[in-house]
Chains A and B, each alone.
Chain A
Amino acid sequence: MDASTLTIKQAAGLLQAKECSSVDLVKRSLDAINQRNGELNALLEISSTVLADAKRIDDRRANGEDLGPLAGIPLVTKDNMLIQGWKASAGSRMLENHVSAYDATVVGRLRKAGMVFVGRANMDEFAMGSSTESSHWGPTKNPWDTARVPGGSSGGSATAVAAGFAPCALGSDTGGSIRQPASLCGIVGLKPTYGRVSRYGLIALASSLDQIGPFTRTVEDAALVMQAMEGKDDRDATTAEDFETAIPELMQKDIRGLRIGLPKEYFVDGMDERVRLAVTEAVRLFESAGALVTEISLPHAEFALAVYYIIMPAEASSNLGRFDGVRYGYSSSGNSLIESYERTRGEGFGKEAQRRIMLGAYTLSAGYYDAYYRKALQVRALIRQDFDRAYKDVDVIVTPTSPSVAWKLGEKFNDPLTMYLSDIYTISANLAGVPALSLPCGFVDGLPVGLQLMGRHFDEASLYRLGMYYQSVTDWHEKTP
């Protein structure tokens, strides 16, 4: 048993057949972590009860209890998800010693499904970044080349799965923070439809864009985790209830007749030619398997990044207003209340958080609200219309996930705009609220390339169908660093 390539499905099979125990799986995880976490800085903390938790699942199984496919499977969570009694710092000094008072809804649901929580993963501060370099705890390194970034903001989670620390990790995606690191680390990452997964207990970045989703080695595994995680939650009023759960076993195995759209606005300058080639190869494969490929247009695509960098900082500046040093978190006191606020925020927030708070406060201010914020909301509506129109003719939209493979640490760190541009292909899905999946589709100079599939609202099923077919005829997802 090679833990570094083990999928959830394979591990579940071994557990069911009693060929291994959950304790075995966790020990393999801990071995992998001991070997490489010091170098990669993917996990910030390992659970002290993880072996006992695994033992409990093993005991239940030994007692004849009928447990589901996720029972006993190790899971890594992101540092912005609350687990009662665990620290949750969101990669920030502001919350460096903060202990969660309750469980996030996804945590409760996955625990109920029997998953075993291994540890919490590093991330960009408050999920603000595309490289995991803005973490208060130092950068995470890409397991394929430790001189390079793993992507972000969920870089710790992606690295943990790619390096074989666990077959599954959770991330959160506001503008690409699951898909882009999945792409740069050579694994699968899913940003579900907005409203499919509860955000209760997720430390918010931009509430109208944030979604929690899984990192896995295979598309099928991602679908398995989603089954346990998704669904209506009374504690998050934006969760939907009337959608269908996609069950991999019941899905059509071929992709004959599936209509695929390639947005012409995405295949332009700024993309690494070799990334384009890898994506084109995948599309050719889909076509030869009977999918119908057409060029489509998303006319407002070029405005998506500008819209995003108005809406996201605006929502972030509001969400982060709660960190005032009064009720919890970092607290620095001055001679007056105002001075205490200033010190707390000046010392507790890192540079990128401060930058985005200033930007958000500026675009929301009375004189600029119409020119920036209202305008951005209108263009967001146009971007959504683009997708609605496109989905009349196609079922899935295919693009690269990231215009380039993983870049060197420090390369874009002091140039925020260039850093922001690395999210150019992922942010539209968040603005439109549609589901999007990234899966490995090749290598450039030994570094993974990601393929992005975007679907209709709540039609994750088509993404799974296409992705599972692709993984049944390719072996990119079986490569390890």
Chain B
Amino acid sequence: MYRTQLESILAYIAKLQQLDTSGVREANAGSETENAFREDVVEPCASETREQILKSFPRREGDLLSVQAVFESRTE
């Protein structure tokens, strides 16, 4: 199913190829705003926010997020 659906979508978006866009500057973002900077300081978050984020961890050890090893197969 994906194959025929994606094929029809790709065929449709291929219509852009008929346009000559040489020399056109790309519109990279949603607006023309320049980079926005702020001071590089840590802002503490509310304790309820922190608690909820910890609660959302699928696996945790204390307040730490427990993750699977990247390069090994699971041994347990």
Contacts and interface: CB of A to CB of B under 8 A. Distances in A.
Contacts of B70: 337
Given A101-B49, A326-B67, A337-B68, A195 B31 contact: yes
B56 A327 contact: yes
Given A85-B52, A101-B49, A336-B74, A417 B30 contact: no
Contact of A194 (B30, B50, B53, B55): B30
Contact of A307 (B16, B25, B52, B65): B16
A208 B17 CA distance: 23
Highest count of chain A CB atoms <10 Å: which of B28, B29, B70:
B29
B56 A99 contact: yes
A377 B25 CA distance: 8
Nearest to A237: B36
Contact of B33 (A100, A238, A335, A336): A238
A358 B2 contact: yes
A18 interface: no
Given A377-B26, A378-B24, A328 B16 contact: no
Q: How large is the interface on B (under 10, 10 to 19, 20 to 34, 35 or more residues)?
A: 35 or more
A367 B30 CA distance: 25
Nearest to A337: B68
A286 interface: no
A415 to B, nearest CB: 8
Contact of A303 (B5, B8, B16, B53): B16
A417 B31 contact: no
A101 B49 CA distance: 5
Nearest to B28: A377
Contact of B27 (A336, A337, A381, A416): A381
Interface residues of A, number: 59
Contacts of B14: 306
Given A194-B31, A238-B31, A382 B24 contact: yes
B57 A327 contact: yes
Contacts, number: 142
A431 to B, nearest CB: 8
B53 to A, nearest CB: 5
Interface string B37-76: 0100000011011111101111100000101111011100
Given A240-B31, A336-B74, A433-B31, A378 B26 contact: yes
Contacts of B52: 84-85, 99-102
A374 B26 CA distance: 7
Given A99-B56, A101-B52, A102-B49, A306 B27 contact: no
Given A309-B9, A337-B69, A375 B16 contact: yes
16 contacts: A101-B50, A195-B30, A208-B29, A238-B30, A306-B15, A310-B16, A325-B58, A328-B58, A333-B68, A335-B73, A336-B74, A340-B68, A379-B21, A381-B24, A382-B19, A417-B9
Given A99-B52, A309-B13, 10 more contacts: A101-B48, A238-B31, A307-B16, A358-B2, A362-B10, A371-B17, A378-B21, A382-B19, A416-B5, A433-B31
| 10 closest Cβ pairs, A-B complex | A377-B26, A101-B52, A331-B58, A237-B36, A208-B30, A328-B56, A381-B27, A378-B21, A380-B27, A378-B24
